[in-house]
Structure 1
């Protein structure tokens, strides 16, 4: 067993108010808690990992090149590996979510990213 205390976990803030926290995981899967301020959107991107995005608080809009879905509290969406997408807080309040990735990944995806 390997517990991870939220306040002690590795964090990364790609943009002001967009914070990601690395929760328990492995090379096989990883969990990232995140928060987004109102109006914030990640850039359109893709990655080798399958992803499940679960909305814990507020509203999140997940858009692919072909589709868009609005998630409310406890709604989720699955994204295939290499499926281009972005996640946006389209609400008026802070949004909180949990991303699950398989295989697992680190914050290197964002820190080593070329625009």
Structure 2
């Protein structure tokens, strides 16, 4: 068993109010808790990992090249490997979500990224 206390989780905070925390996982899958301030959007991106995004609080809008869907509390969406997407908080309050990635990944995806 590998326990990760939320307060001790590795964090990535690239913008004010946008924070990700690495929860328990492995090289096969990872869980990332995140929060976004109102009107914040990640850049359009893709990755080798399949992704499930669950909205835990607030409102998250997922944009792909083919479709846009807005998640309310406890709604989820599955994204295929290499499917271009961005995640935006389109609500008036902070949004909190949980991302699951398979295979697992680290924050290197963001920190080593070339814009």
Residue 110 of structure 1 pairs with residue 114 of structure 2? no
Aligned mates of 1:30, 1:86 — CA distance in 2:
19
Number of equivalences: 115
C-alpha distance in 2 between matches for 1:47 and 1:78: 13
Aligned partners of 2:14 and 2:50: how far apart in 1? 21
5+ residue gaps, structure 2: none
What CA RMSD, in Å, does the superposition of the two structures yield over aligned residues?
0.3
Q: CA deviation at 1:80?
A: 0.1
Q: Which runs of 4+ in 1 moved over 2 A?
A: none
Alpha-carbon offset, residue 56 of structure 1: 0.1
- Superposition map of 1:1-115 within 5 A: 1-115=1-115
- SS of the residue aligned with 2:110? helix
How does the TM-score come out when normalised to structure 1?
Answer: 0.99
* Shift in Å, 1:14: 1.7
CA distance in 2 between counterparts of 1:16 and 1:111 reads 16
Distance in 2, Cα, partners of 1:79 & 1:15 = 24
TM-score normalized by the length of structure 2: 0.99
Distance 1:14 1:85 in 2: 18
TM-superposed CA distance for 1:16, in Å, is 1.2
Deviations 1:5-63 (A, max 9, x none): 00000000121110000000000000000000000000000000000000000000001
